[in-house]
Structure 1
Amino acid sequence: MTAVANDNACQSNGNAISRFIRKIIESRRARRGMHDMLSLGDHLLRDIGVTRFDVHTALNASNGSCGERLAILAQENRRSQYRHACGKTGSALQTKDDTVKLAA
């Protein structure tokens, strides 16, 4: 019983050093994943919704995680493709129906 109580106390403590180290490890894993994506072919990257340039841009992002940045770039690509396919030139979707079509 004592071991469980001590284990729970250690987990709830979560000091700044352990959080910092955890963030570094997560960041390195994400960057390694981005580098692995660069080994994929262009057609596979296109299927995912990103380009090789998007992956490089996400890796070089100075703020936020590279995974979050890549997700934003992929969403921008989908919106751009949708507007191009529908002949829209505006930067924002015009109606709520446009948002629903984009999600599909």
Structure 2
Amino acid sequence: MARDIPPGFADVSVIVAAYQAADTVTRSLTSIAAQTLKPTEVVVVDDGSSDATFETAQAFEPHMNGIRLRVVRMDTNQGAGAARNRAIEESSGGTLAFLDADDEWL
């Protein structure tokens, strides 16, 4: 069954694995929200950070320009691969794109 995707959006889930990324995750999310063709959702997985990564990502939700933001916290650090796999399990998009929490899209 086809999903209703609004104009300007694509059936894409962006996967962001984050660890100790409180200082960088906002920049990554800003770059996603600024895209001309926006993903329908972003799934951020905080991989057991001891800093404010989880709270910082959650607080960015009002700035997502209509993109659904899901922020998931893992209890312990299990590595980027495990965080990405968890995000994939949580995602609903037909296509996946990956962006590290310390990187940005132009």
Q: TM-score, normalised by structure 2?
A: 0.28
Structure 1 or 2: more helix by fraction: 1
Which structure has more relative contact order (CA 8 Å, sep 6+)? It is 2
Q: Name the TM-score, length of structure 1 as normaliser.
A: 0.28
The structure with the largest strand share of the pair is 2
Higher Cα radius of gyration: 1
